[in-house]
Copies of this chain bind each other. A is one copy, B any other.
Amino acid sequence: MSQPKRYLDIVKDIRDMIRQERIKPGDRIPSERELAERLQVGRSTLREALRSLELLGLIETRRGEGTFLSDHRNHSLVEVLSTFILQDNQSHKDVRETRMIHEISAIKAICRNESLKELLVWDSFRKRLAEDSGFQREDFVRELMILSENRLSLKIWFLLKQYSGKPYTGEVTLPEKELMEEILTAIEQRNEAEAVSKYAAWNELLTKERMRNGNDS
């Protein structure tokens, strides 16, 4: 845990600076060269951090002009989520719960989505689940989030996942795989209650496992 992910520290530094200097959405932030100077890092390293911020939609870069704080509203969303999660380690429970809120809602949305009724999606989905050893819990849930077709919810979920450490790690055990199958089946049959119930069971299993492994954080 010596110096992991320096560019993430820089992200934090930049955010602090922005807050201190009262830079508002739409404003220009200092140039890369000046930032590198002030933060005492190389310009390429700094650029890696800026790339991250850009991916998250926090900044916008315009060649020849400069780098600007994105005035998109999701700016504050990301901002709040990151500060909330980064500086308050008592709130992991809230993060986990909120992520579950979105996952459950996604399952329900899929059940209600008519256009997915006769989809080949499920075949490939199930096939990957059965055959692909690389198909992990993350992928399973992410697919569900995408299928829910609420991109905002997907984005929030994605951010929560980023910030909340590693929620779904470790081996996928057999009983888990069965539960995942059952969730799929329930969704296919449009059985909301059953799907959610199976999801809850799966989640409980994961929680237990996390406890057993002492995987807190």
Contacts and interface: CB of A to CB of B under 8 A. Distances in A.
A163 interface: yes
B163 A97 contact: no
Contacts of A151: 84, 88, 90-91, 94
Contact of A134 (B25, B138, B152, B154): B25
B150 A94 contact: yes
Interface in A83-121: 84-86, 88, 90-91, 94-95, 97-98, 101-102, 104-105, 109
A57 B88 contact: yes
Contacts of A154: 84
B82 A55 contact: yes
Contact of A101 (B25, B85, B101): B101
Interface in A2-50: 4, 7, 24-26, 44, 47-48
Nearest to A50: B48
Q: Which of A72, A146, A163 has the most CB of B within 10 A?
A: A72
Stoichiometry, as copies per complex, reads 2
Nearest to A71: B136
A91 B153 CA distance: 11
A15 to B, nearest CB: 15
Interface-centre pick from A74, A94, A104 (highest chain B CB count, 10 A) = A74
Interface string A42-79: 00100110011011110000010000000111101100
A32 to B, nearest CB: 12
A91 B47 contact: no
Contacts of A138: 57, 71-72
A81 B105 CA distance: 18
A130 interface: no
Interface of A: 4, 7, 24-26, 44, 47-48, 51-52, 54-57, 63, 71-74, 76-77, 80-82, 84-86, 88, 90-91, 94-95, 97-98, 101-102, 104-105, 109, 134-136, 138-139, 142-143, 146, 150-156, 158-159, 161-163
